[in-house]
A and B are shown apart, each in its own frame.
Chain A
Amino acid sequence: MSRWDVAFLSAVKMAMVSVIPSDTDRESTLLRRARAGDPAAFRTLFERHAPAVWRFLRDLLRDEAAADEATQETFVRAHGRLSALRDGDRLGAWLLGIARNVYLETRRRRGMTHVDVDDEAHEGQVEAVLPTPSPEDLLLDRELEGLLAEALGALREERRAALLLRIDHGLPYEEIASVMGWSLPKVKNEIHRARLQLRERLADHVGGHS
């Protein structure tokens, strides 16, 4: 295994330990208890999923205080609708779906608009000029993190949401289709285009160009 692979796997592993629930069986038990009205079980579920929900909302709203409020609203709604969640449903995807609805309502209430920066012609050129990232590029310093946030923010809202559900929250394409209310081909197409736009914006900072 190359140094590149080791660096990548260790970064992913460290994040998985802190972000993604490790034991789905235990989660379904918690969910059953929470549905039965056990506040401790709901608290555990909140503590496990709230950071991901907050991050998703922060990335959509691009406002940390608004993400705070929207995260709480998401969990208040989730608490009231726990009985609607079926045993086979994945709690994470379900919560992110509620979060997206809360985001859409917040946006409507605040009269938020987004400047669409999509440029189909530009996307066509991206594949030809992209550099190949090196293992050193994996390190996300503060400057690059800011650029990444900017690049994500430049994506059209729906595209950004779909991309984040995939690359940040690890949802399968089928679940993204369900959260977004899209067909599977549309999900794949939108995520592909989002990736091309993101790479184009960050190309100058990878592959030894920085």
Chain B
Amino acid sequence: MNAPCPEHPLEALLAGELPFDEAERVQHHVDSCAACTQSMAWLKLERGWMAQRARRAPHRRALDFSALEARLASAQALRARTQGRWSHQGKMALGAIAALLFIVFNVTQQLPPTPAEDAWGLEAWSVPAGETCVDPTREAVAAIEARVGACLVATPVVLSIAR
């Protein structure tokens, strides 16, 4: 049994979508094929019915532009509000990013001191704890004073001993 002829070339012929040579070839086939003649009759019927149906479609209020205008206006207002909100949120995000950058900048400025700075650090002014605070006896203080050749009047331990 032969496969039935496809209908879309017939439809394209009816719709004027085929180039001239192709249209002639399909028309020639239709003239000699009973099944395609019948298909063409149905295709014409469908197109004719649809065309009449389209003309008869009732007029609806929704098809008046004035009915759409109010909806368009509210949709535009909504879009504008949404854009405004995004713009506001964008500004807030920019502020947050700026604050974050400020913090990062400050943290990176507090890097460990370089060797040159280290010479002026607190360690340079501290006195070894063992020599000033560990031995509170008067003899020990005197020994230290004799060694450095100076009176340690600022030493709290020495002051308390003097009283």
With A16-B51, A18-B54, A54-B62 as given contacts, are A72 and B46 in contact (CB-CB < 8 Å)?
no
Contact A133 B41 (CB under 8 A): yes
Q: Report if A72-B51 is in contact (Cβ < 8 Å); known contacts: A127-B4, A132-B41.
A: no
B1-43 vs A: 1/0 string, CB under 8 Å?
0001011100100010100000000000000000101100110
The residues in B between 42 and 81 inclusive whose CB is less than 8 angstroms from any CB of A are 42, 44-58, 60-63, 65, 67-68, 71-72, 75, 79
A50 and B63 in contact, given A7-B48, A8-B44, A195-B7 (Cβ under 8 angstroms): yes
Q: Mostly helix, strand, loop or mixed at chain A's interface?
A: helix
B51 touches A14 (CB 8 A): yes
How far, in whole Å, are A71 and B63 apart by their CA atoms in the complex? Answer: 8
Top 10 A-B pairs ranked by shortest CB distance? A15-B51, A68-B62, A140-B52, A11-B48, A138-B48, A133-B45, A133-B41, A168-B50, A8-B44, A132-B38
Closest Cβ neighbor of A149 among chain B residues:
B53
Q: Which B residues are within 8 Å of any A CB, using their own CB? A: 4, 6-8, 11, 15, 17, 35, 37-38, 41-42, 44-58, 60-63, 65, 67-68, 71-72, 75, 79
Can you list 16 A-B pairs, Cβ within 8 angstroms, ordered by A? A4-B44, A15-B54, A15-B55, A18-B55, A19-B55, A67-B60, A71-B60, A76-B75, A127-B4, A127-B35, A132-B37, A140-B52, A145-B53, A168-B53, A188-B8, A199-B42
**Which residue from B6, B38, B68 sits with its C-beta under 8 Å from A46?**
B68
Find chain B residues with CB under 8 A from A80 CB. Answer: 75, 79
Q: Which B residues lie within 8 Å of A127 (CB)?
A: 4, 35
Residue numbers of A with Cβ under 8 A of B are 4, 7-8, 11-12, 14-16, 18-19, 43, 46-47, 50-52, 54-55, 58, 64, 67-69, 71-72, 75-76, 79-80, 127, 130, 132-133, 137-138, 140, 144-145, 148, 166-168, 170, 172-173, 188, 192, 195, 198-199, 206
